[in-house]
Amino acid sequence: MTSRAEYCVLACADAWRDNGEVLASPMGTVPAIGARLAKRTFSPDLLLTDGEALLVGLDGRAEGWLPYRQHLAMVTGGRRHVMMGASQLDRFGNQNISCIGDWQRPARQLLGVRGAPVNTLNNPTSYWVPKHSRRVFVEKVDMVCGVGYDSAAAAGPSATRYHRIPRVVSDLGVLDFATPDHTMRLVSLHPGVTAEEVQDATGFPLARADEVPCTREPTAEELRLIREVIDPQGLRDREVPA
């Protein structure tokens, strides 16, 4: 039986399908397992880091040097697909990791904008939300860190030129912005989840087809790689409990 966390790993891995020779930058445990799964199967040319300054192969051995200043150049050069977390995410893909409440005097200070502005304007940026809820999926984010489609359009051609949000993966399903007005759409449901459940856990109306398909099943080899090779300790289940 495939677990919920394993469907999430699979949905994250598929974000890097057909990306070619770019850096996969996963933030979070499930996306990190997903990136490694993609590299071990259908996207072998992906680059990975050790989370610090080294580019490493699947065996952990260094194949290159990527200190922060070169990493930032790689971001602006576009040869990267990052999957970030989100404390808030809205229907146009605006993302917040800075603070909750009024920026002048926040109710809860979080990380700060970090690299979300540079990421979203320069290389594909996907999101991972381990607990899909109305607290995260909000009508309007308190602080736009990652730029959404409406904000990019309002800022003009320099902002939209390289802007792309390929997908949002949550513990309930997969979403994207492939609608005429770039509002968030429900693409697939992890088995056992209904479209109504996802809508109830989302603070704005989601675009969706009458019949929303299920997230794809893993191959036997993918399951083996997840369970025996990449994550034998089951760290994925801590991020997404069964």
Partner 1 sequence: MTDKTMTPEDVVARLRSGMTLGIGGWGSRRKPMALVRALLRSDVTDLTVVSYGGPDVGLLAAAGKIRRLVTAFVTLDSIPLEPHFRAARQEGSFELSEVDEAMFMWGLQAAANRLPFLPVRAGLGSDVMRVNPELKTVTSPYEDGETFVAMPALRMDAALVHVNRADRLGNGQYLGPDPYFDDLFCEAADSAYVSCEELVADFGTAAPQSLLIKRYAVTGVVATPHGAHFTSCVPDYDRDEAFQKLYATTPWPEFAARFLHGDEKSYQSAVQTWHEESA
Q: Output the DSSP codes for 191-205.
A: TT--HHHHHHTSSSP
We find the least distance from the C-beta atom of residue 63 to partner 1, in angstroms, to be 14
Q: The tokens 């191959």 sit on which residue?
A: 219
Stretch of 14-22, 153-161, 170-178, 221-229 lying at the interface with partner 1 (CB under 8 A): 153-161
If you count DSSP H runs as helices and E runs as strands, how many of each does the chain have, helices first? 9, 13
> Is residue 58 at the binding interface for partner 1, with CB under 8 A as the rule?
no
- Whether 93 and 177 have beta carbons less than 8 Å apart is answered as yes
Nearest to 127 by CA among 96, 160, 159, 162: 96
- Beta pairing partners, 83: 26, 126
Report if residue 157 touches partner 1, rule: CB under 8 A.
yes
> Is position 183 an interface residue for partner 1 (rule: CB under 8 A)?
no
- The answer to whether residue 144 forms part of the interface with partner 1 (CB under 8 A) is yes
Cβ of residue 146: shortest distance to partner 1, in angstroms? 8
Stretch that binds partner 1, among 3-11, 152-160, 216-224, 229-237 (CB under 8 A): 152-160
Query: Which are the contacts of 89, defined by CB distance < 8 A and separation ≥ 6?
Result: 95, 96, 127, 129, 136, 137, 138, 141, 168
Q: How many residues bind partner 1 (CB under 8 A)?
A: 47
Interaction between residue 88 and partner 1 (CB under 8 A): no
Q: Contact, 162 vs 119, CB < 8 A?
A: no
Residue placing its CB nearer to partner 1 in the complex, 23 or 186: 23
118 binds partner 1 (CB under 8 A): yes
The two three-digit tokens of residue 187, written as one number: 């693409």
72 binds partner 1 (CB under 8 A): yes
Nearer to partner 1, 41 or 160 (CB): 160
Q: Which residues bind partner 1 (CB under 8 A)?
A: 52-54, 65, 67-69, 72, 75-76, 98-99, 103-118, 120-122, 143-147, 151-152, 154-159, 161-163
